[in-house]
Amino acid sequence: METMNCPACGTGMVESPVGAAAVLKCPEGHGVYLDRATLGALVEAESDWHRYAGQHTAPMPRITPDMEAAPPPSRPAARAWVETLF
């Protein structure tokens, strides 16, 4: 992928792997740049994630003496596969 500067701040964007693809990302957090092929790959991966996400369940945890009454706070479930990347 070619190098480019962020249109918002002018900083050079860095290449960052995302799944099987790579995107250009502003190190200051202003956004990402995707070429057409990368966008298509991410859209397909997102569709696959939604197709298969509901079929898998987590195994029941084993009860151990060091467990507390309240479960530890967990991260909210991702609404989309892309959310799991960033």
pTM of the model: 0.51
Helix (H, G, I), strand (E, B) or coil at 50: helix
pLDDT digits (tens, 9 = 90+) for 69-84: 666 667 777 777 777 7
pLDDT digits (tens, 9 = 90+) for 2-45: 678 999 999 999 998 887 788 899 999 998 888 888 888 888 88
Structure tokens that stand for 62 in this block: 């084993």
Q: How far lies 44's CA from each of 33, 36, 74, in Å? A: 17, 12, 28
CA distance 22 to 1: 8
pLDDT digits (tens, 9 = 90+) for 46-70: 887 777 766 565 555 666 777 666 6
